[in-house]
Structure 1
Amino acid sequence: MRFGHLGQEPRIHPDAVIAPTAVISGDVSIGAGCQVLHGAVLTAEGSPIVVGPNTIVMEHALVRASSTNAVHVGSHTLIGPMASVAGADIGEEVFLATGTRIFNGAEVGDRCEVRINAVVHLRTVLPAGTVVPISWVAVGDPLQILPPDSHEEIWAAQKELDFPGYVFGLDRDTPDLMVQLTERYGRSLSRHSEDRRLD
């Protein structure tokens, strides 16, 4: 399913194969030889998504650009089932395994492997060839790769990255943080009410 969003329409190379239940919304460019499988969602929420040639986006993966962070995915990259990429730059020949999460402002270099259920936190930089083990967390620049049971170390690095400030423009100490966050984000997402189906 293809949708126009915010005045932009997807551009899909004629050699790309898009499953009929995939959703492609807004300013999305998909290169030659790409495969986007059933249930995958690529949604450009104010910045573009560019997917390079011969990339595979598997079932139920989510690729989302925000108003402040575009998404660029290099060629010959695989985004696994139920993986999520939000406002990040992904290099060429990258493997994002099942259930991985790549957050806003992250940079994943060429030939990196982010293994099952691993996380690359916002504004984190993975140099080319980096491997993030199963369920581990990559955080920061300079990079730290930490096991999931290292909550205090992960939180210390993550807190400095300021997720609510960077992604939503809200101070973490705001007394009604979630009220403001959901109302602000909800207004932004409500722009989909004017989307129009193209196919």
Structure 2
Amino acid sequence: MPCYQLEGITPVVHPDAYVDPTAVLIGDVIVGPDCYVGPCASLRGDFGRLILKRGANLQDTCVMHGFPGTDTVVEEDGHIGHGAVLHGCRIGRNAMVGMNAVILDYAEIGESSIVAAGALVKGRFTCPPRSMVIGAPAVVKRELSEEEVRWKYEGTLEYQELARRYQRAMKPCDPLTEQEADRPRMRTNKIAPKGEEAAG
């Protein structure tokens, strides 16, 4: 992975984390155990500190950044969908940020909440635990059900297992020129989408 020390501060990646070789880590970045950082993610710790706590995932093309002196934090088991932008915010334990959502400075997403795909969460926004957050600008629509919280957590467990799968079995290769007649499928657990609100 492209990893850069800046002014004497070096990114930290726990040995049990997986960071894709195309992700970029600069400066004050801390990636905890069992984390997954996807292809082309950008963690630019040149002003504020960026922290992924145990079991968090930051998927393809996500961006983390923050103002000087701030912490941008994804708490334990946080789940950040493809293309999301986190800037100087805090994502609570077991919360999910949907694809292409933007979370701005000093916003705090409560534990076990879901921010819908494409949402724009304004600076200093806060929500209680187990909130469904939707819209641009985002608002709390309702409380999440036990089933939705469980579905989210199961999805996060898939990404923790994905980190282990990549560590075990991903390797560079040349593409085939034709599809095999008996081409196998990837083996994963069940996870299926729950609808448009929870896409991520």
TM over 0.5: yes
TM-score range, shorter chain: 0.5 to 0.7
**How many aligned residue pairs are there?**
140
1:44, 1:66 within 8 Å by CA — same for their partners in 2?
no
Residue pair 1:25, 1:44 contacting (<8 A) in 2 also: yes
Match of 1:87 in 2: 88
Could you tell me how far apart the structure 2 residues matched to 1:101 and 1:119 are?
Answer: 5
Asked if 2 retains the 8 angstrom alpha-carbon contact of 1:94 and 1:110, the reply is yes
Q: Distance in 2 between matches of 1:71 and 1:19?
A: 20
Shift in Å, 1:66: 1.7
Shift of 1:6: 3.2
What corresponds to 1:37 in structure 2?
38
CA contact (8 A) 1:136 1:145 kept: no
Distance 1:112 1:35 in 2: 20
Please list, as runs of the form range in 1=range in 2, the aligned pairs for 1:7-156 lying within 5 A after superposition. 7-133=8-134, 135-138=135-138, 144-145=139-140
- The answer for unaligned runs of 5 or more in structure 2 is 142-200
Percent identical = 26
CA distance in 1, matches of 2:37, 2:56: 8
Range 12-21 or range 122-131, more displaced: 122-131
Calculate the TM-score normalised by the size of structure 2. Answer: 0.67
Q: CA RMSD in A?
A: 1.4
Q: Identify the structure with the greater helix proportion.
A: 1
Please tell me the residue identity of whatever aligns with 2:112: R
Task: Structure 1: give runs of 5+ residues left out of the alignment.
Answer: 139-143, 147-199
Alignment check: 8 A CA contact 1:137 1:145 kept: no
Structure 1 residue identity aligned to 2:26: S
